[in-house]
Structure 1
C-alpha cells in the first residue's frame, strides 16, 4: 500500500479550492513529476493566476508558501514515495475495471464534447491548404491515425513525430492558409510550445487534442478538446483520442459529401485498378 502523497492531499481537497486555486491544483497534479522544473512565476503564468493565489493555495494544504510545498514534493520524490513505473504496472487495474472505467469515460466524453468545436475543426480541415499532424511519443498515435484517412479524403497533409531540427524543417513552409492539429498532453516539451508559437507567428490555425484545459490555454489553441482517460496505468491510452478522430472524420464526410465522396471513389477506383493488374 502506497503512502499518502501531496498529490493525494491536493486531489482530496480539490472541491474546497477557489476557481483560480483549482487551476493551480490542476497544473501541479498534471505536472507532478516535473514540478521541480517550475518556479512560482512559471506556475502562476501557466495556470493563469497570480503568485499571491499560489501562496494562498499552498497555505490551504498546510504550507507557508509554494517554496515549502515544492521542497516537500521534491523530498517526497527523492524518498521514492512517488510510484515507480514498476509499481504503477503492478497497480494497473484488471480488465473488468478497465471496461467499466472506459464506458464511464466515453459517456463523460460524450456529455462534455462540444459539437460546435468539432464543426469548427472540420471547417478548418476542409479550408486548409495543408494540415500539419504533429505528436511526439505516444501522443503521435492519434495523429498517425488521422494521417491514414485525411489524404484519401483529398486533404493535403504533413505528418511528423520528429523533434528538434527535423521538426523545424518540416513546419518551416507553414503559412496562414494552413492548419496544425497536435496531440499534446500535460508532460509537454519545448517542441510542443515551439510548434504552437510558430503557428501563431505565421497565422496558421491551431487545434489541440489534450488532457487539460491549462495545456489548451497555454498553447493558445484556436480550438482544444480534452480526451483524458481516468484509469491510472503504466501506459498512455489513446482510445478517447481515436474516438475523437472518428467523430471528426465522420463529420467531415457528412459536412462535405460531394468533395469527400468523389475523393473516396477516386481512391477506391485506384485500389481496384491496382488489384486487377496484379
Structure 2
C-alpha cells in the first residue's frame, strides 16, 4: 500500500481544491432505456469538470501544493491531463508547456492552446511525449506534473471518490475507466473496499489487466480508439499496490463496444463522451460486466474532449 495516499489526505485535498474545481452532477438512468432489463444506474457526469475531464482535480492539487519555479510547469499527456494542467496554470498565472503525442485528438490540442499553454506535438504515443517533457525539465528546471504516477495527482483524483460517496452513499459498485491508473488509484484509495471497484480498459490497451495478471506493472499494447487517454505503456507504480488491494477486477471492452456506448449516450441522453469517457459505460451496456440483481451500480463518465459532434 502507498502510505502517502490515504482517505485522510484525500479529504484534506478536497478541502484545498474545493474552490477551484466543480462539484459535478449525477444522473440516474434506467438501463431499460438502453435495451437492457430494468435497472437504475447512476452516472457521474465528471466530463462536466473544468477542462472537460476529471484531470483538473489532480492538476490543481499539484499546482497548489508544490513549489513552482519561474519556468512554470510542464506535462506530458495524451490530451486531457495537458488540458487540465494548462487550465490550472492559466487560472493561477503560471507558465505551462504541454507535450502531446501525434495521436492526441484535435479537440484536445485546441483546448490546450486555448488556455495559453505552449504546445509541443511529437512522437507517436504518450511515452514519446513523456521523454520529450523530461528533457525539457532537465533543460529549464520547470516542474513536472505527472499524469498519473505522482502522489499529488492521485490525491486530487481521489477527491472524486469522496464526492461520489457523499452524493451516492448507497452504491455498491463503481465502474471506472483506466489508463495510467491515477483516477482509479485515487478512488480506490478513498473507498478502501467499501465499494466494489471495477476497472474498465480497452482490449487494445489492457494495461492494468496485464499488470494484475503479472503481479507488477509491465509493458502493454497501446492501441485503439481511446489511445489518447487510456493507453500508457504501463500503469503507475504508485497506484498498482492500491489496485491490487482494492480493485475487484479489470474487464476489457472493444473499440466497437466503445463506439456503441458513445452513440447510445448521445441518442438517449444527449451526452457527448470521448472514447475514454464512454469506456466504463460500454462495459455495462455490452455485457462485459454483468452486475448481480442486488448491486447498486454507478458509472463514471470521465471525459468529453472530442469533436464527435459538430454543429452547423
Higher RCO by CA contacts (8 Å cutoff, separation 6 or greater): 2
Higher strand fraction: Structure 1 or Structure 2?
Answer: 2
Same fold (TM over 0.5): no
Give the structure with higher Rg (CA): 1
Please classify the TM superposition score into its range, dividing by the shorter chain length: under 0.3
| Length-normalised TM-score, structure 1 | 0.26
